[in-house]
Amino acid sequence: MSLTRYIPFSYKIRTLLFLQQFKSLHYFKDRKENSSDKKIVVFLAANYSNLGDVAITYAQKKFIAETCPDYKVIPIPISKTLEGIVWAKSILNPKDKITTVGGGNFGDLYDQIETLRQLVVENFPDNKIISFPQTFDFSPSEKGKKALKTAQRCYSKHPNLAFFLREQKSFGWMQKAFPEVRSFLTPDIVLSLDQSEPQLERKGVTLSLRKDDEKLLTKDDEKQLLDFISNRFQQVAFYDTHLNKGDLSEAACDAELEKIWTQYKTSELVITDRLHGMIFSYITNTPCIVFLNNNHKIEESYNWIKEYAPIILMREFSVSAFEVAIQDIFNKFSQRKYHSLKERFEPLKEQLTC
């Protein structure tokens, strides 16, 4: 029986980082960077099958490149974090900047990613670090309370850390739990993208529905939903934002994003209970009906877009309410044009450029 399973991940990962200093840098061995060039690193870049996280990484790199054109943007895949920390220490100077990816991994639910972010913050005390928009997701459980205290110890020590939150609730919780850390409120970084052009012919409906514990729709709800839309639309497609693929190259990530955005842009309607199903609908200007899941992310993020989007939020399912929502989508909202939210990201631009 292996004893390593009883060793906390935080201890194991720090031991592995220490040992990494004495190993060859396989992933970065051919990367040549000029230490005098201005650089911004993107740590924890998604190279796995969650297209929401992949889109966050894509949007983050694009936003940095457009905001700081005189800086070189260097993504470090999350799977190469340890090697990336050692390598980045060898090429960065104190004027270079570090970012960590946005998303929903700030808390104890995805505790390994949270530990990796803390590892990045600990290892670069002399560089400005910016966490792109996150959801505050520390649970009230004993595990969550312990994880929060660990995060507080780490982040409060860094002299130049800026933390962005993507919902009003998360922003309030962050200010209360981390008073020493500069915190800011902006939307999810994917909402800085515009994928509404070119406009394509639209046919049928696409469903992007969860299959995990965050799902609120019951099996009976889903059956009634499918029966209704099958009678209403000639084409019904299923396209989840989670793929059964791993360790994707940067080119493969971009290709998968293009596929799902094209799928949405050629749909009359998207039905989803995924946050980035709703967000992809917004940036492609696709009519969408979105159902709540079991956390606040969808409802809070909907507040950023509800005035402009051809999107209706349903808090619970019934056939009659769904039928009304369908009518409203096509009668009231289908002619809405894409509205850019770029002005909402000014605080993020200021932190990147100051």
Q: In this predicted model, what pLDDT tens digit does every residue of 37-81 receive, in sequence order?
A: 999 999 999 999 899 999 999 999 999 999 999 999 999 999 999
User: Residue 331: pLDDT above 50?
Assistant: yes
Dihedral sign computed on CA atoms, order 124, 130, 136, 137: negative
Closest CA to 246 of 51, 96, 85, 32: 51
Query: What is the predicted pLDDT for the residue at 76?
Result: 97
Q: pLDDT tens across 186-240, in order?
A: 999 999 999 999 999 999 999 999 887 778 888 999 999 999 999 999 999 999 9
Contact 74, 42 (CB under 8 A): yes
Whether this prediction's pTM lies above 0.85 is answered by yes
Instruction: Give dist(CA 253, CA 245) in Å, integer.
Output: 10
State which amino acid sits at residue 214: E
Q: Which residue has the tokens 């793929």?
A: 243
Contacts of 104 (CB under 8 A, 6+ apart): 110, 134, 135, 137, 275, 297
Contacts of 59 (CB under 8 A, 6+ apart): 189, 190, 192, 193
Query: What is the predicted pLDDT for the residue at 35?
Result: 80
Confidence of residue 336 (pLDDT cuts 50, 70, 90): confident
Instruction: Give dist(CA 207, CA 269) in Å, integer.
Output: 9
Residues comprising the chain, all counted: 354
Closest CA to 235 of 201, 205, 263, 207: 205
Query: What is the predicted pLDDT for the residue at 113?
Result: 96
Closest CA to 91 of 74, 111, 112: 74
| DSSP symbols for 203-235 | -SEEEE---STT--S-HHHHHHHHHHHHHH-S-
Query: What is the predicted pLDDT for the residue at 259?
Result: 97
Which of 3-7, 32-36, 238-242 ranks highest by mean pLDDT?
238-242
Q: Which residue has the tokens 């396209």?
A: 239
Q: What domains sit in the chain, N to C, each tagged with a CATH number? A: 10-192+344-353 (3.40.50), 205-333 (3.40.50.2000)
Contacts of 322 (CB under 8 A, 6+ apart): 225, 228, 289, 314
Confidence of residue 1 (pLDDT cuts 50, 70, 90): very low
User: Residue 320: pLDDT above 60?
Assistant: yes
Confidence of residue 24 (pLDDT cuts 50, 70, 90): confident
What's the chain's average pLDDT? 93
Query: What is the predicted pLDDT for the residue at 323?
Result: 94
Instruction: Give dist(CA 15, CA 182) in Å, integer.
Output: 30
Confidence of residue 245 (pLDDT cuts 50, 70, 90): confident
User: Residue 284: pLDDT above 60?
Assistant: yes
Q: pLDDT tens across 102-135, in order?
A: 999 999 988 999 999 999 999 999 999 999 999 9
Give percent of the chain above pLDDT 90: 79
Q: pLDDT tens across 167-191, in order?
A: 999 999 999 999 999 999 999 999 9
